[in-house]
């Protein structure tokens, strides 16, 4: 009888442990089935650059527009940068605790620093070249930042700062990868480059679509092949995200065949050395933005693009469409169930339920 009691106690403890483990997994992999959309801003513009700054979200947009939207009911802010007769379009945005940086595409490349408190604007970098086109920017810490752009001399254009964004310098091609003819970047959602735990991850697209990793903050890079569709000017990886230094996802496809849902999404569990195609001939087509949900162990992913907004809770094996809306281009998470999304003529808040 005593032995039976001991056995029952052991079984009970195992049951409790399994139950706790299951509950923990469910918490880390929530089964969201819908998105509640709250409009934050309606304005005629295209916005594909966002940054969450505590109780506000900064945005960059077309026609020289930029600003922030309050997330707690305080006043919003918006402004326009004009320079000569240029039609400025800000598709890249990054921040430090004190400043926001917005980077225009095309020639000339213009990088502006905006003081968060005073709203003072400073032009901190300018580059003129017929091929210049910067696509993404981020800060690795409060002092060091990096921006990447299309090749002007056979290698990716990379500029860096080490003084909090006051001065920027372009790297020579010496330590940078040589790009194939027709290989470049897409300025889809400021997600061509990611920084996690001391490593930079960069994705290219076009005729050649590759993945690059740097362990020295962009000075040198190692390149790896991707299985994403490539070979034409508008094919390849358009967006990427890494949950940590090992778990990453890339997505994109063929911009000229927006419904095509094969060879357009892949995942890695070893830092990009090997990529595995996921959900072939299923789920979404062309994707402009993909992001891991925070605090979900790299299992939960959201993506937006030409066929709507899709969600996966099993590392991309299966996907569910949460919104049919095709106008969202970029989004950033506030927490693991709330995000801000932008695109055509509006910026909204996503609440996953």
- The number of C-alpha atoms within 13 Å of 225 and in the hemisphere containing its C-beta is 5
Q: What is the mean pLDDT of the segment spanning 154-181?
A: 98
* DSSP state at residue 327: -
Structure tokens at 311: 């969600």
The CA-CA-CA angle for residues 292, 297, 303, to 5°, reads 20
- Residue 28: what pLDDT? 78
Q: What is the mean pLDDT of the segment spanning 248-258?
A: 98
Q: How far apart are the first and last CA of the chain?
A: 49
CA distance 253 to 307: 12
The per-residue pLDDT for range 20-60, each reduced to its tens digit, is 333 445 557 999 999 999 999 999 999 999 999 999 999 99
The per-residue pLDDT for range 184-233, each reduced to its tens digit, is 999 999 999 999 999 999 999 999 999 999 999 999 999 999 999 999 99
Q: What is the mean pLDDT of the segment spanning 148-167?
A: 98
User: Tokens 């910067």 identify what position?
Assistant: 134
Residue 175's φ and ψ, nearest 5 degrees, are -100, 5
pLDDT for 74 beyond 80: yes
CB 225 within 8 A of CB 213: no
The CA-CA-CA angle for residues 172, 149, 252, to 5°, reads 135
CB 102 within 8 A of CB 95: no
CB 111 within 8 A of CB 147: yes
Reduced to 3 states (helix: H, G, I; strand: E, B; else coil), residue 319 is coil
64 — pLDDT class (breaks 50, 70, 90): very high
pLDDT for 15 beyond 80: no
Nearest residue to 290 via CA among 262, 320, 318, 311? 311
Nearest residue to 158 via CA among 98, 111, 88, 205? 111
Residue 20's φ and ψ, nearest 5 degrees, are -65, -40
pLDDT for 12 beyond 90: no
| Residue 255: how many other CB atoms lie within 10 Å | 21
CA distance 171 to 160: 8
The per-residue pLDDT for range 96-142, each reduced to its tens digit, is 999 999 999 999 999 999 999 999 999 999 999 999 999 999 999 99
pLDDT for 4 beyond 70: no
Nearest residue to 128 via CA among 97, 162, 83? 83
Nearest residue to 199 via CA among 248, 251, 133, 265? 248
- The chain-wide mean pLDDT, for the chain, equals 93
- Residue 26: what pLDDT? 52
- Residue 27: what pLDDT? 56
Strand partners, 222: 213
Q: What is the mean pLDDT of the segment spanning 299-318?
A: 98
- The number of C-alpha atoms within 13 Å of 239 and in the hemisphere containing its C-beta is 28
Nearest residue to 216 via CA among 125, 140, 108? 140
Q: What is the mean pLDDT of the segment spanning 232-250?
A: 98
- Residue 23: what pLDDT? 46
């Amino acid at each position: 009888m005593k032995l039976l009691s001991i056995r029952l106690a052991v079984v009970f403890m195992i049951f409790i442990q399994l139950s706790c483990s299951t509950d923990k997994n469910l918490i880390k992999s929530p089964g969201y089935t819908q998105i509640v959309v709250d409009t934050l801003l309606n304005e005629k513009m295209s916005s594909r650059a966002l940054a969450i700054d505590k109780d506000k979200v900064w945005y960059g947009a077309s026609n020289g527009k930029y600003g922030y939207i309050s997330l707690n009911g305080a006043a919003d802010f918006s402004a326009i940068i004009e320079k000569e007769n240029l039609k400025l379009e800000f598709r890249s945005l990054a921040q430090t605790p004190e400043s926001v940086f917005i980077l225009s595409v095309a020639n000339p490349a213009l990088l502006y620093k905006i003081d968060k408190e005073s709203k003072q604007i400073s032009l901190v970098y300018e580059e003129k070249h017929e091929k210049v086109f910067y696509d993404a920017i981020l800060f690795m810490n409060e002092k060091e930042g990096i921006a990447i752009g299309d090749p002007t001399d056979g290698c990716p254009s990379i500029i860096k700062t080490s003084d909090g964004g006051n001065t920027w310098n372009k790297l020579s091609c010496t330590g940078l990868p040589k790009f194939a003819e027709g290989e470049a970047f897409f300025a889809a959602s400021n997600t061509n480059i990611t920084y996690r735990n001391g490593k930079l991850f960069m994705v290219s697209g076009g005729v050649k679509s590759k993945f690059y990793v740097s362990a020295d903050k962009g000075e040198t890079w190692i390149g790896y092949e991707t299985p994403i569709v490539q070979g034409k000017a508008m094919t390849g990886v358009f967006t990427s995200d890494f949950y940590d230094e090992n778990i990453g996802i890339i997505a994109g496809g063929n911009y000229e065949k927006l419904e095509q849902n094969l060879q357009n999404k892949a995942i890695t569990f070893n830092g990009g050395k090997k990529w595995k195609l996921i959900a072939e001939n299923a789920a979404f087509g062309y994707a402009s933005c993909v992001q891991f949900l925070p605090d979900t162990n790299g299992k939960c992913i959201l993506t937006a693009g030409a066929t709507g907004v899709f969600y996966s809770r099993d590392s991309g094996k299966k996907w569910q469409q949460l919104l049919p809306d095709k106008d969202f281009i970029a989004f950033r998470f506030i927490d693991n169930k709330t995000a801000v999304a932008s695109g055509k003529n509006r910026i909204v808040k996503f609440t996953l339920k």
